[in-house]
Amino acid sequence: LWSQRGHQSLFFSPPLVTSMELNDANLQTLTEFLRKTLDPDPTVRRPAEKFLESVEGNQNYPLLLLTLLEKSQDNVIRVCAAVTFKNYIKRNWRIEDEPNKVSDPDRTAIKANIVNLMLSSPEQIQKQLSDAISIIGREDFPQKWPDLLTEMVTRFRSGDFHIINGVLRTAHSLFKRYRHEFKSNELWSEIKLVLDTFALPLTELFKATIELCQTHATDVNALKVLFSSLTLISKLFYSLNFQDLPEFFEDNMETWMTNFHGLLTLDNKLLQTDDEEEAGLLELLKSQICDNAALYAQKYDEEFQPYLPRFVTAIWNLLVSTGQEVKYDLLVSNAIQFLASVCERPHYKHLFEDQNTLTSICEKVIVPNMEFRSADEEAFEDNSEEYIRRDLEGSDIDTRRRAACDLVRGLCKFFEGPVTAIFSGYVNSMLGEYAKNPGENWKHKDAAIYLVTSLASKAQTQKHGITQANELVNLNEFFVNHILSDLKSPNVNEFPVLKADAIKYVMIFRSQLPKEQLLQAVPLLISHLQAESTVEHTYAAHALERLFTMRGPSNTTLITPAEMAPFTEQLLNNLFKSLALPGSAENEYIMKAIMRSFSLLQEAIVPYIPTLIGQLTHKLLLVSKNPSKPHFNHYLFESLCLSVRITCKANPATVSSFEEALFPVFTEILQNDVQEFLPYVFQVMSLLLEIHSNSIPSSYMALFPHLLQPALWERTGNIPPLVRLLQAYLEKGGATIAASAADKIPGLLGVFQKLIASKANDHQGFYLLNSIIEHMPPESITQYRKQIFILLFQRLQSSKTTKFIKSFLVFVNLYSVKYGAIALQEIFDSIQPKMFGMVLEKIIIPEVQKVSGPVEKKICAVGITKVLTECPAMMDTEYTKLWTPLLQALIGLFELPEDDSIPDDEHFIDIEDTPGYQTAFSQLAFAGKKEHDPIGDAVGNPKILLAQSLHKLSTACPGRVPSMLSTSLNAEALQYLQGYLQAATVQLV
């Protein structure tokens, strides 16, 4: 069954790398499959995707794709090949410890050709290749791709701006990570290398491009190309200056800042666009320059001081003269952000001190940009998802309102009193306008609420909403006088924007409002779940979900299930009904609110589950046809887990009715190989199986062989939940498997073998192995035991990491606990004479201090105690010299602090981090597994067990134990040991 050749045992042979010739037949085949991947019909599309996935390990595959994107006659195929190539690089370029799917000759060929290809391709393909270069660069640059930059910089001289912009775009995607990387010597030396090669040519290009803009001032097509270059150059400036102020840019600040200032004040009629929505090149360039100025004002204020006043003036003029159209949103919000970053620096406080200045900022910049425009109204009604993303989640798309809000916060840092006073006047007059004619003037109230919110919020967190508020604003009074009326209005569909504002107010200030007002709001929020407006019912769901997570005194939830009792039925009804509203079939906020309601209400939901589980499984069946909303799907599975846990806690027998409801859908998901859902399905199945008392239902046994298919284990996201599921199988049905599926045991061990070969997943392999040892009848695995140990030794020889050693120690000791110390010694010595002594001396004694976790330490303590006291070879062979050091190591495990040092080079092996960028394992919080102790109550205190076992040993061979102790155990350890003997009330003879 197993052969002795390294890791290649028969049930698990590594995939063979085959080569695909670069010929017309293969190009033709590839073209046909690429075309099928674009087919809307999943029965055509999925098999084609599967085929491409199956050949991506073949040599020349990426080169075939590059040939197609360069030479295919069909433009659609060229673009498709480019996208497929980029995704292939994204998945496979980085090697963690899975087999390397990109052969070395392919890597070399790709790096040799890709820059040229990218520069000579049309823009659509250029963008994909540029992304691919930056993914390769992220891994290989600078060490393994030293000539990348020089190759790019020489192209600046070509004078062809299609090529130059290709280089700039690639450089931008390569350097933009400098904006969010942590400082490290490696990063700094890379940036230094980039600056040495790139800063001067970039500056020369910047100057030359500005001159060309003057030469071609009347040629609109030339200007478009030149301005897109200037925008990219400005973005590169930001990335290269982000970490620190480079000497080169400090010396050349005059050139850069004078030109930036000139560009900010430039207005070329030819570049103005008629489009009201899309930002034009001029706006994009000026937005980036505002960002660059803000970066310098914030980080390098001393060096930037001489330039600051003229930038403040230029940006102020820009703000006062720019219209309300959507195309200016990015520019206006970046310009306001610049002012916000300047006004909160003590250096520049004097610029804003004058009351007239403050008044005019409030009047001309803040108030106009808080207004709810017709474009916002359109988004609210027709593009609700985007609106919610901007308004609720504060996505990266900067809105005018958010920037204006930040400016209010910035000004309040030094001028809270005057600013609050100026705005209170505005708020009152806006509310007055609204009161005169609500139907016409509702937008005034919207702006007033927004102003109050931005004035009142000083500090905010996702978890608690506003945590620090402006003392000068009475939030409670405003809630009672202006917010409650909108929440209480009987027609939930009237003035949806104001309703959404009111709901958001409750949500944002939930930590400031007293509990009785929140309780008053709950039933009102529940009724808003029925609103037709997507934004409104989404906000209602989100607000309820946030209120349900608030902590009250003594670490319970602020709102208790008892307080929810009068509304429980209405809440569950309305939540599920709102999923049926147009636009909300997969609304993640509603699903999260369902999950949170279940979790809060606990057993109060049991009576409703029979109806609700049908709705949840129906929803699951629908979304599994085409999973597109990962968060929604995640909360859906969490809600399923909660239904199972809460109901089965009350009555374990109900597990079978859940299986009846869920298995048909699960079967379909498994048969259609819906990759995104498999990790979830395995977790829910584990949860169900773990509830069964002690037998394994036949419905599970039928599935068992399918869980061992190698294809499932290729995807790293499946590994943790599949291991847990197999552990549940072993725990509930070890004997059943041995009796009725013994032919599957090699397959099970094959999974273990694959996992321990991987540095990232070896701990999962041990979880599986430990369950096999603990739950399988001993005779069912006798024939495989020796081979298991051989595999572990091969891995120890090839790469011995701390994580592997810790897992190995736990396994060896579990084996000793389960099969006895003699069996352990014999199996080691049967592999190689004296092997047992080597393992004790080289691994167990020096490394046991590294074991962490109470259960793991207990297993090691009991296992070592057995070796010390139940293994004759330890008493009268050459192993005897290891007896005292082993006892000393055990006392150390009890008494010394844990050794958690990790060798430097291992610090970077990510335990759960997975190769490639596939959605990694998505852990379900509510499918949680209890920590399992294989020893259980049999041993309460391992120190007492050691004392009792030593006592027993000493009565069997009197005089031996005390003499071994007195000659070589150190005094401190001896003292601890005396303590254990006293506690156990035994003596050594």
| Predicted confidence (pLDDT) per residue in 484-543, tens digit | 999 999 999 999 999 999 999 999 999 999 999 999 999 999 999 999 999 999 999 999
Whether 825 has a pLDDT exceeding 70, the answer reads yes
Torsions phi, psi of 399, nearest 5?
-105, 160
* Helix (H) or strand (E) run with residue 316 in it: helix 308-321
Q: Which of 21-30, 46-55, 857-866 has the highest mean pLDDT?
A: 857-866
Give the residue among 547, 558, 554, 530 at the shortest CA–CA distance from 592: 547
Determine the Cα–Cα distance for residues 119 and 167; give it in Å rounded to an integer: 7
Q: How far apart are CA 747 and CA 10, in angstroms?
A: 10
Question: What's the pLDDT score for residue 14?
Answer: 43
Looking at the DSSP bridge assignments, the partners of residue 459 are 468
Q: Taking a C-beta distance cutoff of 8 angstroms, is the pair 190, 142 a contact?
A: yes
- Res 913: pLDDT: 34
Q: What is the residue whose two structure tokens read 């599970």?
A: 700
User: Three-state SS across 945-971?
Assistant: HHHHHHHHHHHHCCCHHHHHHHHHCCH
Can you list the alpha helix ranges (DSSP code H) found in 141-184?
148-154, 161-175
pLDDT at residue number 328:
93
- Tell me how far CA of residue 68 lies from CA of 76, 115, 127, 130, 386, in angstroms: 11, 16, 16, 17, 36
The residues, ordered by sequence, that sit 6+ positions from 244 with a Cβ below 8 Å of its Cβ are 188
DSSP state of 9: B
In the prediction, which pLDDT does 3 show? 29
Cα–chain-centroid distance for residue 536?
29
- Contact between 888 and 846 (Cβ < 8 Å): no
Residue range 704-747, pLDDT digits in tens: 999 999 889 988 899 999 999 999 999 999 999 999 999 999 99
Question: Which residue, among 747, 748, 766, has the nearest Cα to 756 in the 3D structure?
Answer: 766
Query: Which of 968 and 31 is assigned the larger pLDDT?
Result: 31
Strands (E), 438-493: 457-461, 465-469
Tokens of 667: 């079967």
> Which tokens go with 860?
């090691």
Please write the tens of the pLDDT for every residue from 250-284. 999 999 999 999 999 998 888 888 888 888 899 99
Percent of the chain exceeding pLDDT 90 equals: 75
Tens of pLDDT, residues 843-895: 999 999 999 999 999 999 999 999 999 999 999 889 999 999 999 999 999 99
CB contact at 8 A, 172 and 235: yes
Q: With contact defined as beta carbons under 8 Å apart, do 513 and 506 qualify?
A: yes
Q: Which pLDDT band holds residue 937 (cuts at 50, 70, 90)? A: confident
* 8 A C-beta contact, residue 541 and residue 590: yes
> Peptide bond preceding 854: is omega within 30 degrees of 0, i.e. cis?
no
Q: What is the mean pLDDT of residues 944-961?
A: 94
Report DSSP letters for 788-819, one per residue: HHHHHHHHHHH---HHHHHHHHHHHHHHHHHH
pLDDT at 397: 59
pLDDT at 462: 66
**Phi, psi (degrees; rounded to nearest 5) at 11:** -80, -5
**pLDDT (0 to 100) of residue 902:** 67
- Give the pLDDT mean for 124-153: 92
pLDDT band at residue 898 under the 50/70/90 scheme: confident
- pLDDT at position 461 over 70: no
**Would you kindly state where each structural domain of the chain is located, as residue ranges?**
17-94+101-120, 560-672
Our CA angle for 27, 32, 38, nearest 5°, is: 125
Confidence at residue 719, expressed as pLDDT on a 0 to 100 scale: 95
Mean pLDDT is lowest, of 3-17, 558-572, 578-592, 699-713, for 3-17
Strand partners, 19: 59
pLDDT above 70: percentage of residues in the chain: 94
Q: Is the pLDDT at 644 greater than 70, yes or no?
A: yes
CB atoms within 10 A of CB 195: 17
User: Do residues 14 and 798 touch, judged by C-beta distance below 8 A?
Assistant: no
Let me know how long the chain is: 989
Say whether pLDDT at 10 is over 80.
no
**Residue owning tokens 């946030």:** 546
Task: Give me the pLDDT at residue 907, please.
Answer: 45
| Cα angle 843-849-854, degrees, rounded to a multiple of 5 | 120
Residues 517 and 511: their CA atoms lie apart, in Å, by: 11
Would you tell me how many other CB atoms lie within 10 Å of the CB of residue 562? 8
Q: What is the pLDDT of residues 906-930, one digit of tens each?
A: 544 433 333 322 334 678 888 887 7
Q: Using N-to-C axis directions, what is the helix angle for 496-508 and 515-528, rounded to 10°?
A: 140
Q: Which residues in 67-192 belong to E strands, given as ranges?
A: none
Residue 17 has a pLDDT of 46
Give the Cα separation of 962 and 29 in Å (integer): 79
Task: Give residue-wise pLDDT tens across range 150-167.
Answer: 999 999 988 899 999 999
Q: Which two tokens stand for residue 652?
A: 């374990």
Q: Is 199's pLDDT higher than 50?
A: yes
In this predicted structure, the answer to whether residue 685 has a pLDDT above a threshold of 50 is yes
